[in-house]
Structure 1
């Protein structure tokens, strides 16, 4: 009996050790730990006024860019400022584009403003511009809807919070109060969250919101991050950051999403931007996520910008457009192109203005 008990204990210890060993290796694979950093530089300069990250950037057809800055206390990501976040606007048609802080009016609590993913919707009937911002006050998830007025003012219209919008990372607006949003995790507690990651449980999703209904639009995602829409509004692109791929969905009547395909990108891609002229998909990516969670200024997290041409075709082309080991730019999250120019944002570092020509 004693021998049997010892055998069972030894087997249990071996099983636990094997699981933890598997878990360690799985997290290493998901994070692309120790991956060799590709290096490819562009002619760039730092944008003034951006010192603590521009997590998301989006650009209108007329060259007006919006930037969300100052994301902090989100998941386990580094942050170096606890000041409230800010929104900026930048005119790419200006000879020397400079970010200008947007003044926010209305009832929003600015002391806890913590902006993340953003999207813009232009009402073609009257050219009014609506800015949608994912906000994490007190580590919650909600979406703020603003109207852009004048040259430097946002008027807060509405706060959207819903149980299905559990851990919102990014959004794409499809109407003045309508959007798709990604959830980047399915649990708030560390242990069940880690188990879902280790076992590759694709339990994250895309949620469709309108004033009339809120529902899951697509599932089967390990960790939904960036989301955007094709220029013809027919396809929705979602970065599944832990699967190292971009998922393509077709947008059908009734705002239904049907899965079409996935495009491997070989890195951990964050936000998704789309060139309004060519339809090319641009992604800000993390070449090695372990360097983000274990931040070391002597060995900083790098930056990687990926472009996908012909993403819906049978032969999409994935190319590296910018790569750095973290000594020029740390933790890239977004790459927004505009007619030969490129804006690159980060979680907590600076932002670049680059020339693609």
Structure 2
């Protein structure tokens, strides 16, 4: 009798976990094409636009050529022209498309494979610094590169490389000072098969860390694949994306940069990166609506994966946000762009970035 009871309990737990996994992987989701207005593929981006961040005057910085731990698992699928780079797209002149930014200074260009990026605009000096997660290929080490953007020459000057013992599985970051930033470790393990097992187990081993005054430390933990991170325009709140939980966690930032959890916002999709509208505080989310298609896409880039963009609007300026308006702005079945990871908005215009595919530009008429 006891053995039978134990067997029933094990079966119940297993079936519950399988049901949760099926929902997480999005096997029953319908993906359709939804456009907010005219959209097109942007020339100059061919191997990804994993993260996009926009300056106050409409300059979009784009990370391309990610060769992360989970992508291109079959070496035969790696494009021979794949290289990591930062590109620039001017929302004020969208007809110019995306242009690669040259990098100056003592910098290991050949091993640069950027992931999440963040732009810090100094309110006093006007200086603009670009922070980029770098999966350094030669050392297989995660690090953060800090560049100074030269607006006159449209180039990046490398200033500093940051490493730390708590930066082991970097995904994204958000700069809150000239050399201060929050960062996300999306998973605990770094080896491919262990990372896949971690995702399938639905464990919450992701973390968020802080780099400040030359030291790095973990300031929050217990995330299911902590991915995109960003801050509110007033610097009061930190937003953390949990793609396999379909949610965004809101933290209040204390004076000592510690975090207090305030709220969890369910978006019911695989939210990847978060971009914040500096004027309204709206969140713009690049999302994977169907994770199983996204996984197939990472293993064979010819397999299309759905793309989705959500806008999250808060009625109030203070969290916890009681009224949250979540609207779908864009969806694609993979024919235009596969595997959306980022979405950036400026003046009724939208960029939709992908991890390892193309980038789309849309004019927003209605959604």
TM-score by length of 2: 0.87
State whether structure 2 residue 87 is matched by structure 1 residue 92: no
Q: Aligned to 2:305, which of 301, 307, 312?
A: 301
1:22 and 1:81 mapped to 2: Cα distance?
Answer: 40
Once the two structures are TM-superposed, the CA of residue 233 in structure 1 deviates from its matched residue by 1.0
How big is the shift at 1:355? 0.6
Corresponding residue SS for 1:162: coil
The alpha-carbon deviation at position 325 of structure 1 amounts to 0.9
What's 1:224 paired with? 226
Q: Which has the greater radius of gyration? A: 1
Pair 1:277-2:272 in alignment: no
Could you tell me which residue of structure 1 aligns to residue 79 of structure 2? 81
Shift of 1:159: 0.9
User: Out of 323, 334, 344, which is 2:352 matched to?
Assistant: 344
**Partner secondary structure for residue 224 of structure 1:** coil
Per the alignment, residue 321 of structure 1 pairs with 329
Secondary structure of the equivalent of 1:279? coil
Following the alignment from structure 1 to structure 2, what is the Cα–Cα distance between the partners of residues 345 and 242? 19
In structure 2, the CA distance between the partners of 1:299 and 1:114, relative to structure 1 (3 Å rule), is closer
- Structure 1: gaps (5+ residues): 1-7
Q: CA RMSD in A?
A: 2.7
Superposed CA offset, 1:239-270 (max 9, x none): 01111001111111011111110111110010
CA–CA separation in structure 2 for the residues paired with 1:204 and 1:95: 37
For residues 200 and 291 of structure 1, what CA distance do their matches in structure 2 show? 18
- Taking the aligned partners of 2:324 and 2:154, their CA distance within structure 1 comes to 39
Deviation at 1:75, TM superposition (A): 1.5
Aligned to 1:118: 117
Q: Using a 3 Å threshold, how does the CA distance of structure 1 residues 15 and 37 change in structure 2: closer, same or farther?
A: same
Contact 2:308 2:330 in 1 (8 A): yes
Task: Note the C-alpha offset of 1:128.
Answer: 1.0
The separation in 2 between residues aligned to 1:195 and 1:50, in whole angstroms, is 32
Q: Note closer, same or farther for the CA distance 1:52–1:190 as it changes in structure 2 (3 Å cut).
A: closer
Higher deviation after alignment, 15-24 or 247-256:
15-24
Task: State the SS of the aligned residue for 2:290.
Answer: coil
- Report the alpha carbon displacement of residue 90 of structure 1 after superposing the two structures with TM: 1.9
Q: How does 1:65-76 map to 2 (within 5 A)?
A: 65-76=60-71
2:255 is aligned with 1:253? yes
What does residue 340 of structure 2 align with? 332
Does residue 170 of the first structure (1) align with residue 178 of the second (2)? no
Which residue is equivalent to 1:39? 33
CA distance in 1: counterparts of 2:5 and 2:195, whole angstroms: 26
Change (3 A) 1:18 1:112: farther
Could you tell me which residue of structure 2 aligns to residue 148 of structure 1?
149
TM-score, normalised to structure 1's length? 0.90
Contact 1:172 1:179 in 2 (8 A): yes
Equivalent position of 2:134 in the other structure: 135
Residue matched to 1:64: 59
Q: Residue by residue, what CA displacement relative to the aligned partner does 1:126-158 show, whole Å, maximum 9, x if unpaired?
A: 211100000102242111001111332111111
